[in-house]
Amino acid sequence: MELLIKETLEKLLNILGISYTGVKITKEKENVYYTEIETENTSLLIGWHGETIASIQHILKSLLWKQGVESKTQVIVDVDGYKKRQEDSVIRLAERKAEVAIADQIEIKLPPMNPYFRRKVHLHLAESDKYKNLVSTDSVGEGEHRQIKIVPK
């Protein structure tokens, strides 16, 4: 699977005319693969607020599905650790807001975020020993304005 992902991503980057120095694939857990593109064109590949990298990830997943990869397989595309840093930042924000929700016993809404980061926050707070019995989360809103609501239990 790792080889198929790597070859497909490399072909996509070549078709798009994007230079890169390497592609690393790591299997994080069952059906979840993390790809890291090494490039000197970091900002070009990331794009404005990660839009380009999100588009590349979407196209890659579509190409993999056409090649018979199961739809439940998740492929995360990152460039020079950008997504990991964003993910860590969103998780830290969610933890800070969860602390306030618990201390003040109020509902708190996080800023709107894309489905990937919302899912990460939901899972993190639901699985964390520190928060799972103290808060619950829900997604509210529509489209790009969809956000997470943290509710104290």
Query: pTM above the 0.75 mark?
Result: yes
More confident residue, 41 or 141: 141
Which of 26, 83, 28 is closest to 54 using CA atoms? 83
pLDDT tens-digit series, residues 51-61: 999 999 999 99
- The answer to whether the CB of 33 falls within 8 A of the CB of 75 is yes
pLDDT tens-digit series, residues 11-35: 999 999 999 999 999 998 888 999 9
CB under 8 Å to 35, separation ≥6 — which residues? 5, 6, 9, 23, 24, 25, 26, 60, 75, 76, 77, 78
**pLDDT exceeds cutoff 90 at 110:** yes
Structural domains of the chain, with CATH: 2-80 (3.30.300.20), 85-152 (3.30.1370.50)
